[in-house]
Structure 1
Amino acid sequence: MVQQLNIALVQSHLLWENPQANREVFSKKISSIQKNVDLIVLPEMFSTGFTMSPENIKVSEGENTVKWMLQQAKMNDVAIIGSIAFKENNRYFNRLFFVYPNGEYKSYDKKHTFTLAGEDKVYRAGNNKLIVDYNGYKICPLICYDLRFPVWARNVEDYDILVYVANWPKPRVTAWDTLLKARAIENMCYCIGVNRIGLDGLGYEYSGHSAVYDVLGNQMVYSDKEEILYAVLDKDHIDSTRNKLKFLQDRDQFNLSQ
């Protein structure tokens, strides 16, 4: 029997530039999650909100949040994905961590920094795509604005799941909905998007719309309120659809220059 993957999407309000308070909120939310879940996905910058003033936060809070993720993963026997504001070598990064239950982790630095908000002036962009192996699935985790750039997400690695963590504002949420579905269809993969909800410290509103789409672009779950969403991903669905339709065999061949 091919392994299924049980996932939980945590669509939550975020407390502005307050890592300790956000960790406490997410600790409670994670403790309420169904026990058969394999993977928990948190929003972009889940410990602070989408701040362009990371200097307002103690540098140690980055490491504190990573330690918290490791503790939560081990205690709940689950993998956790989320991004945080992280300082390393005197530079700030919008860094996603994929934390395994066994205490290991991998990281990805956001490739496309959001110039409209000046993210490019505060956070250093990454150049390396990450593919994670977990429970028989290949997962490609990306961050928010990356969603607008299909070449970076192109499935040249034969990954099974594409994950976007985000702080995507309400006025442009139609683009979020449309592009998540498009990324699933064009890459013949499950596509997961986890957005925040509520107002941030600058008055921007977020309406959620966290969702999961299957290989054919069918919406499996969706929400526009603060809640935890659940979905079951099936490797058979991926393999059988790709074997039947074979669209990925006709994809363009290219090497992405950095």
Structure 2
Amino acid sequence: MKVAAVQHDIVWEDREANFRRLAPQVGRAAAAGAELVLLTETFSTGFSMTPGIGEPEDGPSAGFLATQAAEHGVWVGGSCPEIAPGGGGEDGGKAGLPYNSFVLAGPEGTTHRYRKLHPFTHGGEHERFRAGEGPVTVEIGGLRVTPFVCYDLRFADVFWHAAPDTDLYVVVANWPAARRLHWQTLLQARAIENQAYVVGCNRVGTAGDGTEHTGDSRIVSPMGELLATAAGTETLVLADVDAAEVAATRDRLRFLPDRRG
């Protein structure tokens, strides 16, 4: 399967502007043969903490992903701020706050959601967003795909626990330029230690709060090799991934059965 990470800039808190900018980029990825097309974390708003930034499930951002998936006959995913139906119940006084939800839309109208497990406390996300409850794995054409969002990348244990059921990890992000070495290194580490593909899809440009982003999107093999990389401009990152290669790597180097904890 060919996977595409759309490395893009984001217009701050302007969904319609982002939809207009991103639709042609999804189209180019599909035309290049991608069956799974990834947009960044908070692709439609930027990493905003503005009260009221949340939208309903199946709101405009999820609708955009579904429309693009149906139009191009591919899977399309990215994260957006979503409020669960009914406000999501009580959670330490956070009822009514949104989740940072990775929404994955399929070409036949199916939709899957993963809610970011680790709000970015250092940036105050824990005060404006609720935490999800656990990983989600979706099978796409025989490939088992497990998505994570940005700060999740720092927590190896959740990747470890998902590894037996994962061929490809997806990490969408608004990772800052100031810590780009961490991003690059951790993506390769997660691939090597779990013997699985990792796709990192990060934004470029300057956020509304002044944070700079340099992209560095990449696709990493189960052996840690860089299959495709990008620098600091809007571009597509494309590579083929194969579940058989994951199985062969794990059979050849049987590290995972020795893992403890």
- TM bucket, shorter chain: over 0.9
How far has the Cα of 1:234 moved from its partner? 2.0
Instruction: Please list, as runs of the form range in 1=range in 2, the aligned pairs for 1:1-258 lying within 5 A after superposition.
Output: 5-35=1-31, 36-55=33-52, 57=53, 59=55, 63-88=59-84, 89=87, 90-154=96-160, 155-224=162-231, 225-252=233-260, 254=261
| Structure 1 segments unaligned to the other structure (5+ residues) | none
**Which stretch shows the higher mean deviation, 108-117 or 59-68?**
59-68
* Cα distance in 1, alignment partners of residues 225 and 45 from structure 2: 32
**Paired residues, what number?**
248
Q: Which amino acid aligns with 2:41?
A: E
User: Following TM superposition, by how much is the alpha carbon of 1:32 offset from its aligned partner in structure 2, in angstroms?
Assistant: 2.0
State the one-letter code of the partner of 2:26. Answer: I
Aligned residues of 1:161 and 1:190 also touching (Cα < 8 A) = yes
Range with greater deviation from structure 2 (104-113 or 62-71): 62-71
2:37 match: secondary structure: strand
* Root-mean-square deviation over aligned CA pairs: 1.5
What secondary structure is seen at the aligned counterpart in 1 of 2:29?
coil
Distance 1:78 1:242 in 2: 28
Q: Deviations over 1:52-86 (max 9, x none)?
A: 1142x474696011111111101100001110011
The letter for the 2-side match of 1:179 is L
* Secondary structure of the structure 2 residue equivalent to 1:177: helix
Identity %: 35
In the TM superposition, what whole-angstrom CA distance separates every residue of 1:92-128 from its partner, at most 9, and x where no partner exists?
1111111111101110111000011100000000112
List per-residue Cα deviations over 1:165-204 (Å, max 9, x = no partner): 0000000010000000000000000011000001011111
Query: What secondary structure is seen at the aligned counterpart in 2 of 1:29?
Result: helix
Q: How far apart are 1:237 and its partner, in Å?
A: 1.8
3-state SS in 2 of match to 1:28? helix
Deviation at 1:91, TM superposition (A): 2.2
Tell me, in whole angstroms, the C-alpha distance in 1 between the residues paired with 2:126 and 2:54: 21
Cα 1:60–1:108 shift into 2, 3 Å: closer
Q: TM-score, normalised by structure 2?
A: 0.91
SS at match of 1:40: strand
Please give the secondary structure, in 2, of the residue aligned with 1:33: helix
Letter paired with 1:6: K
In 1: Cα distance, 2:229 partner to 2:25 partner? 18
* Aligned AA (1:206): H
Aligned residues of 2:54 and 2:83 also touching (Cα < 8 A): no
